[in-house]
Structure 1
Amino acid sequence: MHLTVKILNGEECTLAASPSSLVSDVKEQVQALMSIPVADQKLLFKGKALMDAKPLREYGVEDSCKITLVIKKSVLKSTEASLPTTSPQKIWHSQPESPVWEKMRVFLRRHFRESDIEAVLNAFREEFERNLSSLSLDDIERFAMTKLRVV
């Protein structure tokens, strides 16, 4: 059977596999075709992460199916490492304060000393940014769908 493996950025490849092929075998083919290390690949089919040791048939993968490839952070971080960086505090203080962070500062004033507010706010921002950057497209889509159903 032929499968299409698609990266979220739009790049894709087609490969051959059998229903008894292990997910790890598919990852090895992707590595050969797209030069993405097996350790940095996460394969998804119908929104479900595929386990390396399981055969494709256990997930219902058939001929002409499309599998989504998510590249894990270690590959992306090496790309980002080559870019010039600025500390988060410098970025936040060089840009105008957003209404969200102003409201957060007002809230923190009720619970912390004035001398501690900036430290708590900066720690919260760093955690927020870290969590936001770790969201996958599937996470964002699920979140959006729950909000769309409410309307």
Structure 2
Amino acid sequence: MKLTIKILKGEEYVIDTTDESTILDIKVELERKSAIPVEHQKLLLVGKTLADEKTVASYGSIKDGTKLTLVVKKPDSLRDVIQRHFKKYLQEEQSQRLTNEFMKDFDGKIQQLSLDDLEKIASDILAKKGQRV
């Protein structure tokens, strides 16, 4: 079966799938076609979020030719990720203080990097993703 995935900014992609495919399988295929990471994808059917672990068949209204909407989620900032992690183990005040200290130290280390260092880091990251600089 073919599903059309409409991205809010206008592009559309056609994905070949089966009833046994999971929503995550669709997202992986969409990542290959669109280069939008799976973790930034949110698929909607008539405004309702589709769960990654469910199959196409579990949504009775998904048929051949169904159009799904893709919302691209903004990734969390480093500060938010660090603070969320600290909150798992510490109280709010402690997690804020440690997050601030971490970010201050991180920013200081970034400031010490040369442009050559930054270019090498960027090249390494792109190479890991299979892209060229």
Normalised to the residue count of structure 2, the TM-score between the two structures is 0.55
Code of the aligned partner of 2:65: S
- Please report how far the alpha carbon of residue 58 of structure 1 lies from its aligned counterpart in structure 2 after TM superposition: 1.4
Q: Deviations over 1:45-78 (max 9, x none)?
A: 1111000000011122110000100000129x8x
**SS in structure 1 at match of 2:75:** helix
Aligned to 1:68: 69
1:30 equivalenced with 2:30 (yes/no): yes
CA distance in 2, matches of 1:37, 1:49: 17
Aligned to 1:19: 19
Aligned to 1:50: 50
Code of the aligned partner of 1:65: T
Contact map agreement 1:42 1:70 (CA 8 A) in 2: yes
CA distance in 1, matches of 2:56, 2:47: 14
CA distance in 2, matches of 1:44, 1:58: 14
CA distance in 2, matches of 1:56, 1:31: 18
Aligned to 1:136: none
Aligned residues: 76
Contact map agreement 1:45 1:59 (CA 8 A) in 2: no
Amino-acid identity (%): 43
**SS in structure 2 at match of 1:28:** helix
CA distance in 2, matches of 1:9, 1:32: 18
Q: Deviations over 1:12-52 (max 9, x none)?
A: 10010011110000000000000000000000011110000
- List runs of 5+ in structure 1 lacking aligned partners: 78-151
CA distance in 1, matches of 2:58, 2:68: 14
Q: CA RMSD in A?
A: 1.4
**Structure whose residues are more often helix by fraction:** 1
Which of these two proteins has the greater Rg computed from alpha carbons?
1
Alignment of 1:2-151 (within 5 A): 2-60=2-60, 61-74=62-75
**SS in structure 1 at match of 2:57:** helix
- List runs of 5+ in structure 2 lacking aligned partners: 78-133
